[in-house]
Amino acid sequence: MSYKHIFSLYSKNAGLEITPEIKINGSKGTSEGRVQIRFFLLQMPNAVPGGKTTQIKFFLEPWESYDMALRMEKVFKDAGKGKLTHKFVPPGQAEMITSVTVEKWERSGKSGLGISVSRGDSFISVPVGTDSTSRYLYAVEFLRFLSTRQGWVDREAA
């Protein structure tokens, strides 16, 4: 029986999913562990007006997964914001910048946490209410767990 570690966090209109993944580099004959955070809207793609992006995937190297866990924990304890950014230039195209931001906010006597991703004009936010704090902290622990679980390289793959 095959299984995959997975954690999902939902808000009213969006969600995110954290999973282990594999990066295969055929030219080098290697495969490596990675961690994926997939942000998604809770709508069917054809129900989203204007052809808006309904999901964005953000891949982390194992150390970045640990770094993201530390940023999330710091934001939880100290408030403020934390951000992790990736820059990529596809062949023959403009630079693509993807950022994941975590924040803790307080306004007008209300407070909460949020995790969001942006890429170009696309943006997906997953707010976390005070009633879901334990799920936010579990996401922190899950990222920390996957940071060591996915810290491997197979030099004879592909």
Q: What is the mean pLDDT of each run of 10 residues along the chain (158 residues)?
A: 87 96 88 97 71 89 98 95 94 94 89 94 92 94 97 79
pTM of the model: 0.89
> Can you tell me the distance from the alpha carbon of 58 to that of 136, in angstroms, rounded to the nearest whole number?
18
| Domain residue extents for the chain | 7-152
- The answer to whether 77 touches 50, Cβ cutoff 8 Å, is no
- The answer to whether 70 touches 81, Cβ cutoff 8 Å, is no
Report the chain's C-alpha Rg in angstroms.
17
> Can you tell me the distance from the alpha carbon of 141 to that of 72, in angstroms, rounded to the nearest whole number?
10
> Can you tell me the distance from the alpha carbon of 23 to that of 153, in angstroms, rounded to the nearest whole number?
10
End-to-end alpha carbon distance in the chain:
23
- How far does CA 11 lie from the centroid of its chain? 15
Bridge-based pairing state of the strands 153-154 and 122-128: unpaired
Q: What is the pLDDT of residue 124?
A: 96
- The answer to whether 80 touches 111, Cβ cutoff 8 Å, is no
Q: What is the CB neighbour count within 10 angstroms for residue 48? A: 12
Q: Pick from 157, 125, 120, 143: which is nearest to 69 by CA?
A: 143
Helix residue spans in 32-103 (DSSP H)? 62-78
Q: What is the pLDDT of residue 113?
A: 95
- The answer to whether 123 touches 134, Cβ cutoff 8 Å, is no
